[in-house]
Structure 1
Amino acid sequence: MGTELPEYYFRVRENGAAVFRVDTENRQRRIEMDQIAVVNIRNGEIKPHGDRTLSQADLTRIQQWMTERSAVLAHRDIDDIHRAVDYLNITTQWTQSKATDEQLELVTDALLLAMHDLRSVLVRKKADRLMGKK
């Protein structure tokens, strides 16, 4: 850990974070974290914790974190899709070179349905994009 702690700590939750103000300026020189807000990334909501009033500095830092977090999540989404393409290729190679009949029996229907569903959505979305460009 560095010598200077950040002023705020964001405990990531499913849709956002709990926001804490970090305090080390006390007699025991302990790290104290005081929850000041809860944020929701999906709807942009910032709720002060309890009866707190957030300062402009609090709001600015929270909004900055929300922007940064949204960028991280967007990057992860596309990275996951690239990984899915890799997994499809690995699955194809496994199917062609290593899979036993018993293994294929376990996964074939699920894979075919998932791939059919994906293909249908991709084709529809591509058609929508092409029609919108004309």
Structure 2
Amino acid sequence: MESIQDKVTPLGTELEVLGEMIAKFAAQSTPPYVILASPDKLENLFVMPRLIMCLAQNMYKHGDLTKAEYPGLIRIEHHLATLRITTKNLIRPNRLGAGFYSGMDDLRKRLAYTYGGAASMETWSDGKFFEVRVVIW
């Protein structure tokens, strides 16, 4: 039987890949404004592969990251045995209601497969911003 340790990757590795993606996009003519807030100590923190990348790609695809006053936010918090990952971004004009949320649905299914009942994911929008919160305990 596959254990959860067989299904996860170090958070530090995921953040390195994210940093490379942000740097790649920063080289564009209109670089995105994104803030990454994460714990200084990443040892012994693991997530399912591509979790952080899927959340970031959703921001880049559907968000408006061109405004310095409304940067996209990727916040990672760790307290006791709980890992909370939150993203928030301004919705790109003409994107509200766009898409079929298949990326978020797939991510929800992957979380359930990897963590069973030990993870949750919420998405919401106020019409101006889109937010995702993933909690793993």
TM-score normalised by length of structure 1 = 0.22
**Structure holding more strand per residue:** 2
Greater RCO (CA < 8 Å, at least 6 residues apart): 2
Which protein is bigger by CA-based radius of gyration? 1
